[in-house]
């Protein structure tokens, strides 16, 4: 219950703040406090937890009513210098002067947020000073607006007779972002589902609208929206709330009074009858001639801050779409009307009003009516006949499991909790109730006893809801050309109207910006941590070794909040080429099929009822001292609540030995879904693809990565599904069966992670289940890949308006003495040269470098980049710049901090155990890691010059680029082989 008495000592607030309430959330192991700043009305939610990784976030309600990207560009520009820190790049400079475990900023459809996290108290306070000043006292220099947002420039710099072009980081970022068909699908759908409110517009900015934003409009938006009265502060960790509030007050809040206006998203005007619309997306020519249309149907639901409605909508969505046994998803997956369920399927609850969406992709242009009827008839059937009670209970089980799990492997756990409650706080709802879902679960358990509960929700929220939109999004192979021509015509018209004075103004603006970009600011204006603040030791994680029927079993006692994690790890057997090439498809399908007498729908229900799903994947890593040698394993992994452990153990056992590999149609459907996801993800991870391509000739594991999850892997699956590979589904199943026979005989080991009090129960359950398991063939050879060390020079094409460039140089594996030095070198080049040359001057969204132990290569890359050959030249120029430096001790220290910060990045308790286990399995012991850490700390500038001269020789570079077909001529000039996905 929420406390109504005086607050506990832990929740005592600063005098400038008024304590509102405190609430203990046992399932999350924290106490949540709510405060209000007396003068401004700013809210502060503090999640008090026994965790030294403290998290801060300040969010502003930003509600643009156009698609110029004003909130997004402001997010970038606000981080380019402030009152106390008048340097042009404090955000990126602080990344280099910090031991942060997370630093970022983001713009969503209705708010802009600035979060960071650190385990070091001094570092946390340093970052807090910079963030508070950046948000509330930003300088907003016009040149920073020109750099980060948009500007006009002549293609030949000072030649006023050359073509006029648009430049700007956000402009290029959104060109890249909106190249994604999924992004275009969502934005188009939102514009119709929300015809009048802020969600109608592209908060990131439409490339064709971004140039409409003026500098004056940006400043006016800042003056009204970036005010404490419009702010929400959210914090997590063991720093007391009053200590945080003291900083908030002194750093900013005492200088403000309450804003006379209130910002809040408005409810959407409701349609009186369903709407059907058709739009297009830019496509490659092969998409134009095949079934590539998207058809989605969506409804606008109730307010997301109405928590009863929110949890009911979540339950309904889970019942309908959670897995392949769910009634609506089952129909979509098996329908002949499309290749795969739409990536938009599900509940969207971050906006003020929720939406539920479902549909198909890979459809014929004329399939819309049939798909709409399929969805509506399925919902009608559910409303009349109800849903299997097991499905409903399994959906509730999944909600409880997700509530209890202490995550934090992708970004800090505290930040995940904050993000879960942020949207509700933005809409002036109750994030405390949102995070403590135990009462809601209890209520839902009572609600689902009524057989008509789910059918009633289907009728109320969907069938009887007239605010429904059906969108057909068709491929158009000419659209990208028309968009490019429209931009060229717009620029030509602008140029035609320019006076001589205006042309000179454009030249001068770009000249002043170029001069500013070369400006060397004093880094000591900013606070910092030093090498003396670096923890001397890595955290020590202990494990126990047991034997389970002659197989190794490793146990970790970790605080997992009532969850248990179990993995079966198999030494990957040696496979012929024809088997190896389909291995990633085997692992993808393996846990999605039937088991024994049960078909896949029954197994899906079984999984949902007892665990958090099962994943199957392979992991191959090079030997620490030789990139040409490798060790590879296949992993079957799951997690469950403590009382479900024995059932999960049985499920994993049955999956491992008795998975059915005879469900032909199911496997075809799964591969179509995987192909659709892969195709839509290309531009979102384009730099990763380019780097994988560039380094694919450096080592067997790098080549395997390119073939499994890189561009070659995506193309191989696409070719198979289009019947270009010559492999039939029957042939594929035969290969799967051959792989499986070897997997179940291969040497295996077990990993268990859980709380110490359940240790004996978990191990006993595992021992009992595996008693009498088929014997292992210890004579079976492990995977052995042929050595590879050859250059790559290639450009792959896809539907993108920007480029992703990479260069890779052969270097050394992780155990070599030069490896830590090369890691520091990557940080110096990234921080001190590439950021300025490729991002600020070149206009790319990002650029960097890394030293990769697995491929034994040093790799440069750029992300959402308007340039190609110029960026490749900048990679080379960065090395020349370094070799001509004479004094760079501070740059080396910043790079060292970056490497150490990466090593100390936060992980969850279960993630820390997994990380320790696999590091040891692949030879990266704690002792080896400490050797690396100490070598990094001892690196000096002379070491960087030595390794740069030794390894980064232009003639040794491999090149990988992901771009579009218009870059073929550039590829020929650079000697790059051209391939298409």
State the virtual CA torsion across 229, 232, 237, 241 in degrees, nearest 10.
Answer: 30
Crossing angle for the helix pair 869-883 and 941-951, nearest 10 degrees? 130
- Residue 858's DSSP bridge partners are 809, 851
Do residues 436 and 25 make contact, with C-beta atoms less than 8 angstroms apart? yes
CATH tag, 275-413+420-476 = 3.30.830.10
**Has domain 793-980 been given CATH number 3.40.50.2300?**
no
Instruction: Answer for the pair 300, 193: CB distance below 8 angstroms, yes or no.
Output: yes
**Lookup result for tokens 């960026």:** 871
User: Whose CA is closest to 850, among 874, 869, 884, 875?
Assistant: 875
Q: Which element (helix H / strand E) includes 488?
A: helix 479-497
CA 417 from centre of chain: 16
pLDDT tens for residues 620-641? 999 999 999 999 999 999 999 9
Q: Which of 728, 676, 722, 667 has the alpha carbon at shortest distance from 324? A: 667
Whether residue 10 is predicted with pLDDT greater than 50 in this model: the reply is no
- Alpha-carbon gap, residue 417 to 422, rounded angstroms: 9
Percent of the chain with pLDDT over 90: 86
* 170 pLDDT more than 60: yes
- Mean per-residue pLDDT for 261-276? 94
pLDDT tens figures, 821-836: 999 999 999 999 999 9
> Residue 705: which pLDDT band, with cuts at 50, 70 and 90?
very high
d(CA 33, CA 31): 7
Q: Which of 19-28, 351-360, 390-399, 886-895 has the highest mean pLDDT?
A: 351-360
Can you tell me the distance from the alpha carbon of 570 to that of 168, in angstroms, rounded to the nearest whole number? 49
Q: How high is the pLDDT of residue 1? A: 36
Dist. CA 222–CA 219, nearest whole Å: 5
Q: Check residue 287 and give its pLDDT.
A: 63
Which residue's entry shows tokens 């070491």? Answer: 943
**Domain range list for the chain:** 275-413+420-476, 544-770, 793-980
Task: Give the mean model confidence (pLDDT) for residues 75-82.
Answer: 95
The distance of Cα 333 from the centroid of its chain, to the nearest Å, equals 25
- pLDDT at residue 908 greater than cutoff 90: no
Q: What pLDDT is attached to residue 779?
A: 86
Q: Is pLDDT above 90 for 29?
A: no
Pick from 3-17, 151-165, 509-523, 930-944 the range whose average pLDDT is largest.
930-944
Supply the pLDDT for residue 70: 98
* Residue 916 and residue 131 in contact, taking contact as beta carbons nearer than 8 Å: no
Beta pairing class for 340-341 and 30-37: unpaired
Over residues 39-59, mean pLDDT: 96
* Mean local confidence (pLDDT), 906-922: 92
Please provide the distance, in angstroms rounded to a whole number, between the alpha carbons at the two ends of the chain. Answer: 56
Question: How far is Cα 205 from Cα 173, in angstroms, rounded to an integer?
Answer: 10
Fold held by 544-770: Cytochrome Bc1 Complex; Chain A, domain 1 (3.30.830)
Distance of CA 730 to the CA centre of its chain: 36
User: Taking residues 858-864, what's their average pLDDT?
Assistant: 97
Please determine, for residue 74, whether its predicted confidence score (pLDDT) is greater than 90. yes
Pairwise CA distance, residues 189 & 472, whole Å:
9
CA distance 453 to 190: 29
Sheet holding 804-810, edge to edge: 846-852, 857-863, 804-810, 958-963, 793-797, 977-980
**Same fold for the domain at 275-413+420-476 and the one at 793-980?**
yes
Confidence at 288, pLDDT banded by 50, 70, 90: low
For residue 285, what pLDDT is reported?
77
The alpha carbon dihedral of 689, 690, 696, 702 has a sign of: negative
Q: How confident is the model at residue 289 (pLDDT cuts 50, 70, 90)?
A: low
pLDDT in tens, 334-343: 999 999 999 9
CB burial string 759-794: b at 16+ within 10 A, e below: beebbebbbebbeeeeebeeeeeebebeebeeebbb
Write the CB contacts of 707 (distance below 8 Å, at least 6 apart in sequence). 581, 696, 713, 716
Rounded to whole angstroms, the Cα distance separating 100 from 542 reads 25
| 3-class SS of residue 394 | helix
Q: Are 24 and 31 in contact (CB under 8 A)?
A: yes
* Cβ pair 184, 281 in contact under 8 A: yes
Q: State the burial class of residue 667 (Cβ atoms within 10 Å of its Cβ: 0-12, 13-18, 19+).
A: buried
Q: Quote the pLDDT of residue 905.
A: 85
Query: How distant, in Å, are the alpha carbons of 323, 597, 606, 607 from that of 602?
Result: 11, 10, 6, 9
Average pLDDT value for residue range 869-875: 97
Q: Which residues of 67-87 are buried (b: 16+ CB within 10 A; e: fewer)?
A: bbbbbbbbbbbbbbbbebbeb
**pLDDT tens, residue by residue, 352-382:** 999 999 999 999 999 999 999 999 999 999 9
pLDDT grade, residue 726 (50/70/90)?
low
E strand residue ranges, 572-689: 614-623, 626-641
- 513 pLDDT higher than 90: yes
541-598 tens-digit pLDDT: 999 999 998 999 999 999 898 899 999 999 999 999 999 999 999 999 999 999 999 9
Q: Which residues have a Cβ under 8 Å from the Cβ of 182 and sit 6 or more positions away?
A: 343, 344, 680
User: 967: exposed, middle or buried (C-beta count within 10 Å: 0-12, 13-18, 19+)?
Assistant: buried
* DSSP line for 39-63: TT--EEEEEE-S-S-EEEEEEEE--
Q: List the structure tokens of 124.
A: 């946390």
Q: pLDDT tens digits for 149-159? A: 999 999 988 88
């Amino acid at each position: 219950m929420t406390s109504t008495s005086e607050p506990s000592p832990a929740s005592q607030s600063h005098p400038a703040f008024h304590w509102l309430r405190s609430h203990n959330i046992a399932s999350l192991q924290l106490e949540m406090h709510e405060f209000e700043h007396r003068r401004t009305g700013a809210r502060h939610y503090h999640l008090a937890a026994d965790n030294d990784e403290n998290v801060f976030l300040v969010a502003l309600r930003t509600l643009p009513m156009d698609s110029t990207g004003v909130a997004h560009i402001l997010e970038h520009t606000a981080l380019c210098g402030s009152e106390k820190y008048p340097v042009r790049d404090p955000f990126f400079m602080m990344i280099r002067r910090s031991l942060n475990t997370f630093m970022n900023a983001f713009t969503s459809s209705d708010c802009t947020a600035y979060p960071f996290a650190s385990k070091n108290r001094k570092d946390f306070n340093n970052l807090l000073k910079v963030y508070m000043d950046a948000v509330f006292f930003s300088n907003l220099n016009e040149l920073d607006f020109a750099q980060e947002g948009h500007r006009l420039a002549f293609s030949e710099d000072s030649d006023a007779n050359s073509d006029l072009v648009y430049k700007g980081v956000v402009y290029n970022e959104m060109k890249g972002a909106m190249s994604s068909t999924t992004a275009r699908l969502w934005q188009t759908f939102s514009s119709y589902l929300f015809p009048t409110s802020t969600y109608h517009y592209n908060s990131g900015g439409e490339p064709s609208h971004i140039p409409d934003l003026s500098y004056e409009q940006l400043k006016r938006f800042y003056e009204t929206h970036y005010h404490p009265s419009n702010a929400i502060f959210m914090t997590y960790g063991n720093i007391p709330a009053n200590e945080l509030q003291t900083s908030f007050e002194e750093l900013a809040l005492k200088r403000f009074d309450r804003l006379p206006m209130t910002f809040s998203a408005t409810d959407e005007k409701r349609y009186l009858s369903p709407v059907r619309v058709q739009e297009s997306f830019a496509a490659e020519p092969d998409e134009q001639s095949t079934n590539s249309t998207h058809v989605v149907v969506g409804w606008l639901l109730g307010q997301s801050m109405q928590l009863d409605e929110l949890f009911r909508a979540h339950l309904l969505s889970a019942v309908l779409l959670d897995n392949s046994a769910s009634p609506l998803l089952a129909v979509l997956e098996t329908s002949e009307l499309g290749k795969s369920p739409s990536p938009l399927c599900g509940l969207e609850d971050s906006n003020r009003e929720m939406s539920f969406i479902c549909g198909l992709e890979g459809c014929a242009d004329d399939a819309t009516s049939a798909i709409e009827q399929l969805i509506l008839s399925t919902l009608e059937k559910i409303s009349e006949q109800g849903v299997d009670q097991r499905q409903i209970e399994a959906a509730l089980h999944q909600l409880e499991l997700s509530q209890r799990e202490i995550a934090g492997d992708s970004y800090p756990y505290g930040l995940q909790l904050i993000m879960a409650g942020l949207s509700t706080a933005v809409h002036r709802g109750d994030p405390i109730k949102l995070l403590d879902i135990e009462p809601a679960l209890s209520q839902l358990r009572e609600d689902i006893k009524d057989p008509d509960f789910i059918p009633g929700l289907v009728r109320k929220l969907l069938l009887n809801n007239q605010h429904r939109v059906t969108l057909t999004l068709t491929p158009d192979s000419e659209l990208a050309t028309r968009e490019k021509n429209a931009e060229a015509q717009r620029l030509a018209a602008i140029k035609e109207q320019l006076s001589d004075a205006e042309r000179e103004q454009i030249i001068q603006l770009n000249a002043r910006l170029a001069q500013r970009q070369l400006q060397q600011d004093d880094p000591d204006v900013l606070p910092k941590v030093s090498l003396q603040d670096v923890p001397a030791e890595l955290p020590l994680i202990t494990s126990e070794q047991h034997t389970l029927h002659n197989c190794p079993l490793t146990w970790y006692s970790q605080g997992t909040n009532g969850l248990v994690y179990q993995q079966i790890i198999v030494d990957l057997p040696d496979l012929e080429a024809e088997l190896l090439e389909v291995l990633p498809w085997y692992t993808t399908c393996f846990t999605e099929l039937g088991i024994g007498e049960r078909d896949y729908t029954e197994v899906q229900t079984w999984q949902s009822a007892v665990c958090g799903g099962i994943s199957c994947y392979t992991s191959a890593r090079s030997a620490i001292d030789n990139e040409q040698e490798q060790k590879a394993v296949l992993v079957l992994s799951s997690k469950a609540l403590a009382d479900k452990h024995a059932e999960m153990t049985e499920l994993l056992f049955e999956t491992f030995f008795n998975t059915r590999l005879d469900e032909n149609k199911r496997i075809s459907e799964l591969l179509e879904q995987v192909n659709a996801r892969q195709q839509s993800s290309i531009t979102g991870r384009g730099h990763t693809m380019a780097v994988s391509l560039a380094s694919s000739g450096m080592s067997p594991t790098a080549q395997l990565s390119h073939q499994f999850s890189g561009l070659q892997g995506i193309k191989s699956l696409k070719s198979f599904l289009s019947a270009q590979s010559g492999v039939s589904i029957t042939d594929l199943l035969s290969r799967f069966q051959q792989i499986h026979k070897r997997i179940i005989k291969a040497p295996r080991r077990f990993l268990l992670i859980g709380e110490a009090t359940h240790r004996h129960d978990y191990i006993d359950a595992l021992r009992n289940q595996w008693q009498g398991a088929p014997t292992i063939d210890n004579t079976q050879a492990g995977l052995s890949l042929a050595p590879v060390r050859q250059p790559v020079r290639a450009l792959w094409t896809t539907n993108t308006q920007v480029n992703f460039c990479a260069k890779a140089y052969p270097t050394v594996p992780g155990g070599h003495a030069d490896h830590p030095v090369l890691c520091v070198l990557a940080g110096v080049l990234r921080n001190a040269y590439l950021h300025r040359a490729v991002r600020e001057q070149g206009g790319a969204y990002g650029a960097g470098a890394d030293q990769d132990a697995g491929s034994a290569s040093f790799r440069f890359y750029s992300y959402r980049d308007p340039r190609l050959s110029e960026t490749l030249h900048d990679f080379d120029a960065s090395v020349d710049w370094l070799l001509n430096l004479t004094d760079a001790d501070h740059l080396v220290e910043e790079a060292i901090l970056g490497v150490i910060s990466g090593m100390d990045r936060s992980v969850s308790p279960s993630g820390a155990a997994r990380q320790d286990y696999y590091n040891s399995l692949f030879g990266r012991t704690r002792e080896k890691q400490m050797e690396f850490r100490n070598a990094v700390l001892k690196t000096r500038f002379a070491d960087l010059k030595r390794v740069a001269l030794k390894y980064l020789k232009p003639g040794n570079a491999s090149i990988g680029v992901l771009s579009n077909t218009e870059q073929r001529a550039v590829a020929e000039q650079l000697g790059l082989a051209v391939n298409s996905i």
